[in-house]
Amino acid sequence: MKGLAPWGSLQWNTGRERGFFESAEDGLELKRQRPRLLLHSCCGPCSTSVIERLVSEYDVTVYFYNPNIDPEEEYQRRLASQIKFIEGFNQSRKALETEKGVLTFHQVEFIEGEYCPEDFYEVAQGFDNEPEGGQRCVECFRLRLEKTAKMARWAGFPIFATTLTVSPHKDYDVITEIGLYFGRKCGIEYLATDFKKKNGYARSIELSKEYGLYRQHYCGCEYSNTDTGKETDK
């Protein structure tokens, strides 16, 4: 497990965020009140608009746990893209808040989960011929969300969420059912949000280009890396 704690920024989008605080003390009080949220991230590009949406209400820590990604070189490339975005995001947010003279933003932090492809192949066993979006994907969601929920409980996060729902290729209802189940099982809250709504997916593409992120064209596992399984502009 690896950690990263960069400082940074975000483009504020609402009038409330632009002019709400009359003093630095007001901003610091809100900062203290924000709940901590552990955000499972499937990749840097998908995390962009999700983080942008969440940081005004939560202290966000990104949890990069994706043993499904194949090959390892691809995993390292996506990991580097995730870290690149967090560092750039934090730096730009810090600059913006320094300019405005209010410090309300808690830096987005980072945890890298264990990369153990054997865990994925164990749950995918018997589903080799399933189409993308079938039962193999459901088992993959379960694997990653269960691990995230357990990490959140262990590390003292009251809430967890996932970037998976920003993709139009992923079933929101299935992901939500799994997230809520493991939230109940671990005694914490799952933030059930369809992040593709409110222009979330289009915004993730925009931010990925702005930050110069690598955008993959398949979900991650070897089964999705085929002519029939590839996703366009994931």
Start-to-end C-alpha separation, the chain? 26
Q: Is residue 215 part of a domain?
A: no
List the CATH number of the domain containing 122: 3.40.50.620
d(CA 145, CA 139): 10
| Percent of the chain whose predicted confidence (pLDDT) is above 90 | 68
Length of the chain: 234
| Whether pLDDT at 9 is above 80 | no
Q: Is residue 101 part of a domain?
A: yes
> Under DSSP, is residue 110 helix (H, G, I), strand (E, B) or coil?
strand
Q: What is the mean pLDDT of residues 107-122?
A: 97
Q: What is the mean pLDDT of residues 57-81?
A: 97
| Residues spanned by the domain of 122 | 2-210
- Number of helices (H) and strands (E) in the chain: give both, helices first: 8, 6
Q: Is residue 126 part of a domain?
A: yes
| Whether pLDDT at 209 is above 80 | yes
> Under DSSP, is residue 3 helix (H, G, I), strand (E, B) or coil?
strand
Token output for 220: 């991650």
Indicate the pLDDT class of residue 42, thresholds 50, 70 and 90: very high
Q: Is residue 217 part of a domain?
A: no
Q: Is residue 122 part of a domain?
A: yes
Between 15-19, 55-59, 75-79, the lowest mean confidence (pLDDT) is in 15-19
d(CA 205, CA 217): 13
* pLDDT tens column, 124-166: 999 988 988 899 999 999 999 999 999 999 999 999 999 999 9
Residue entry with tokens 């913006």 = 96
Q: Tell whether the torsion through CA atoms of 185, 39, 145 and 168 is positive or negative.
A: positive
Q: Is residue 135 part of a domain?
A: yes
Between 26-35, 58-67, 94-103, 224-233, the lowest mean confidence (pLDDT) is in 224-233
Token output for 101: 């003279």
Q: Is residue 228 part of a domain?
A: no
Per the structure, the count of domains in the chain is 1
Q: Is residue 95 part of a domain?
A: yes
| 53 touches 108 (CB < 8 A) | no
